Amino acid sequence: MLTIPLDTTSKLALYEQIYRYIKNEIIQETLPFQSKLPSTRGLAAHLSISRNTVDMAYAQLLSEGYIEAFPKKGYFVSRITALNIINHTEFIKNPPITVSSKTVLPYLYDFSPFSVDLSHFPYQTWHQLSKNCLQDNADLFLLGDSQGDLSLRQAITHYLHQSRGVNCEEDQLIVGAGVDYLLQMLAQLFGTTCHIAMENPTYQRANKIFKGFKIKTIPIPLDSNGLNIDALERTDCTIAYVTPSHQYPLGIVMPIQRRIELLRWANKCSHRYIIEDDHDSEFRYKGKPIPSLQSIASCDNVIYIGTFSRAIAPAIRVGYMVLPKPLLEEYKIKFSYFASTVSRIDQAILTEFINEGYFERHLNRMRKVYKTKHDLILSSLKSSNLPIAISGENAGMHLVVQLTNGMSEESIIKRAKNNQIKLYGLKEHFFTIPKNYDSTFLFGYANLSEADIQKGIHQFATTCF
């Protein structure tokens, strides 16, 4: 008979104490293979507990395979070999809380080109929309359409048409958890045999994603009008990844003639595609936004891709892409069984945010906020008396500043760090560094206050002398 020490004051149920005790005896082979267990009635009487409790413990041992039941004979320990390979520390205490490696450094002025200004975010509106969505729609907790909910796709399709001239039906639109995720989908659609032409310099995360899928990427040099089409023609690339409205990171606007040449390149073969990454097209401070390349394409070969990360907030993990119809067919075959990566509640909030006009008002407000900061950092840099050349202005959220005082990019970044300034070099955006490269920095200004922009640039100037 098993004498099992039971603790009636324990949080553990009695049946679980019995189950654990017998399981450990089997693991430690104190109860070897073929040992007969006491009958449930007998053990219950021995321990002065209800038979039901013992039944539950035995049932659990049975379902996990530690014991077997033979009708009219009783319960026996199963043959379990090599128990020594089991981890005996199943019940370790909780692991200590470690501090995340991403501790924020005490920079006073962080010129990140990826930051956004959230101080003007309409939290109250978002909160109110969130409340409405949660109250009205219990079915938002069910799984939705894998491409994104129809109402959101309609809202985005309408917005893209109005603001960017994008021509598409909502069926061509795929909503996903960020541009990186959508690029991963594209990579799978293209397969590993295609070669992708990329601007040099470019958004290197896209390059990393393509390479992660074993797709060869080929850097194409830029001239003052953007991607060099002659160089593109000399490659065997079938895909070109471009940022025509505001080249990332240099800020070049691809003029109409170059756009036509790029479209002609794509039109030459039926399997050529252009990926137009329209990452910060909403923010142009001089005139109106440059129309998208997709809007003027006569053949269905431009994949338009964008995000709400910059126009709303980075934490809103919603990107979108417009697929040409031939690719859409393939997408539907390969991906329609995938669950959407975006929470339906977020989709519903965003739909209302766009449809009720909040998004447009927010964009108009932010354009003013960013323009003020843009003008201020530009004038601060110009009045700094540094030997610099500025480019990429009038749009986006950063300027490109080339410094010609002979100091290396690395040494300036290091010196700036000592002055509590975080600088972002251009170098890492290149596949290969061009000859006669001068130290160049991306100056993001979106999340700095006006006072900090002035102080930060002043501090930067002293760093360079």
Which parts of 257-286 interact with a second copy (CB under 8 A)?
A: 257-261, 263-264, 267, 286
SS3 state at 243: coil
Residue of 71, 95, 106, 406 interacting with a second copy (CB under 8 A) = 95
Single out the residue of 205, 192, 452 nearest to residue 309, CA to CA.
205
Contact between 141 and a second copy by CB under 8 A: the answer reads yes
Specify the DSSP class assigned to residue 95.
P
- Inter-residue contact 426 to 116 (CB < 8 Å): no
Of 2, 45, 177, 390, the one binding a second copy (CB under 8 A) is 177
Binding residue for a second copy, selected from 271, 334, 365, 368, defined by CB under 8 A? 334
CB of 384 to a second copy, least distance (A): 26
Choose among 119, 132, 176: nearest CA to 316: 176
List, in sequence order, every residue forming a beta bridge with 219; answer none if it has no partner: 198
Select the residue interacting with a second copy from 113, 144, 201, 249 (CB under 8 A): 144
Q: What are phi and psi of 421, to 5 degrees?
A: -115, 130
According to the binding rule CB under 8 A, does residue 11 interact with a second copy? no
Give the HSE-up count for residue 110: Cα atoms under 13 Å, Cβ half-sphere: 11
If binding is defined by CB under 8 A, does position 326 make contact with a second copy?
no
Length of the chain: 465
In the DSSP assignment, the letter for residue 338 is: S
State the virtual CA torsion across 8, 13, 18, 21 in degrees, nearest 10.
-90
Nearest to 146 by CA among 180, 181, 112: 181
Please tell me the distance from the alpha carbon of residue 225 to that of residue 211, in angstroms, as a whole number: 27
> Which one of 69, 108, 118, 389 is in contact with a second copy (CB under 8 A)?
118
Q: For the window 207-246, what string marks contact with a second copy as x by the rule CB under 8 A?
A: -x---xxx----------x---------------------
Structure tokens at 461: 């100037």
State the Cα–Cα distance between residues 130 and 124, nearest whole angstrom.
10
CB closer to a second copy, 254 vs 403: 254
The interface with a second copy within residues 405-424 (CB under 8 A) comprises: none
Task: Tell me which of 4, 66, 175, 194 binds a second copy, using CB under 8 A.
Answer: 66
In eight-state DSSP terms, residue 311 is: T
Note whether 131 binds a second copy by CB under 8 A. yes
106 lies in the binding site for a second copy (CB under 8 A): no
Counting contacts by CB under 8 A, is residue 78 touching a second copy?
yes
- 364 phi, psi to nearest 5 deg: -60, -40
Nearer to a second copy, 94 or 385 (CB): 94
Per-residue HEC secondary structure of 390-459 comes to EECCCECCEEEEEECCCCCHHHHHHHHHHCCEECEECHHHCCCCCCCCCCEEEEECCCCCHHHHHHHHHH
CB of 458 to a second copy, least distance (A): 26
Residue 90 or 410 with smaller CB distance to a second copy:
90
Query: For the window 358-387, what string marks contact with a second copy as x by the rule CB under 8 A?
Result: ------------------------------
| Residue 32 found at the interface with a second copy (CB under 8 A) | no
Q: Contact between 45 and a second copy (CB under 8 A)? A: no
Our measurement of the distance from residue 340's CA atom to the centroid of its chain's CA atoms, rounded to an integer in Å, reads 14
Residue with Cβ nearer a second copy (163 or 419): 163
Q: Which is nearer to a second copy, 61 or 197 (CB)?
A: 61
Beta bridge partners of 399: 443
When binding is defined by CB under 8 A, the residue of 24, 34, 52, 64 that contacts a second copy is 64
Of 6, 45, 296, 464, the one binding a second copy (CB under 8 A) is 296
Q: Is 158 helix (H, G, I), strand (E, B) or coil?
A: helix
Among 174, 322, 344, 460, binds a second copy (CB under 8 A): 344
